[in-house]
Amino acid sequence: MQLSLGFSPCPNDTFIFDALVNGKIDTEGLQFDTRLEDVETLNQMALQGKLDITKLSFAAGLRVAGKYRLLNSGSALGRGCGPLLIAREPLTPEQISSLKIAIPGENTTANLLFSIAYPDAKNKQIMVFSEIEQAVISGKADAGVIIHENRFTYQQKGLVKITDLGAFWEEKTGYPIPWAAFLSAKTSPKPLRCR
């Protein structure tokens, strides 16, 4: 049986799926049509029901609960690793609502956390996560919500942290950040079991 499988090209995902997609484990006759896409593209594909199995943001997972089910493993929760709101210079919370903010996708957990922290900020510009730092540097965006490796590189580029959105979430709720989940369509067979 052939199943479509979507995950992102980030190092965590490629490591997780290496054995599966490269035939290093017994898949019990299952074959996979693999799609490597940015997480927001995967979110959109899941919203349209285009993939049998996919990684997506928890924020999008809530919207597809009727089409997909959460797999027994593969979800990511974390502490101290949340998205950051960054800018060229320090900004006050009051300034944020009137600025153009680059976000890594409408259905991302990063946007969800930003929207909780700054509910009045409506001028959002969706970009691929890896383009956000440069958009802020060039002035295409006034500030940006960064994720992944960019958490570790923004200072080298002269940018400053405005808010650690993960810390904001953890302080508000006491819970870890719900990052991503792996879901399968209800029509898919039972998830593979690790042996």
* Beta pairing partners, 3: 32
Residue 148 known to be catalytic: yes
Q: How far is CA 144 from CA 94, 133, 193, in A?
A: 16, 7, 39
Q: Return the structure tokens found at 101.
A: 């903010």
The catalytically annotated residue of 148, 164, 181, 185 is 148
Which segments within the chain are labelled E, that is strand?
2-7, 31-36, 53-57, 68-70, 76-78, 84-87, 101-103, 124-126, 143-146, 160-164, 177-185
Point out the residues that are catalytic: 148
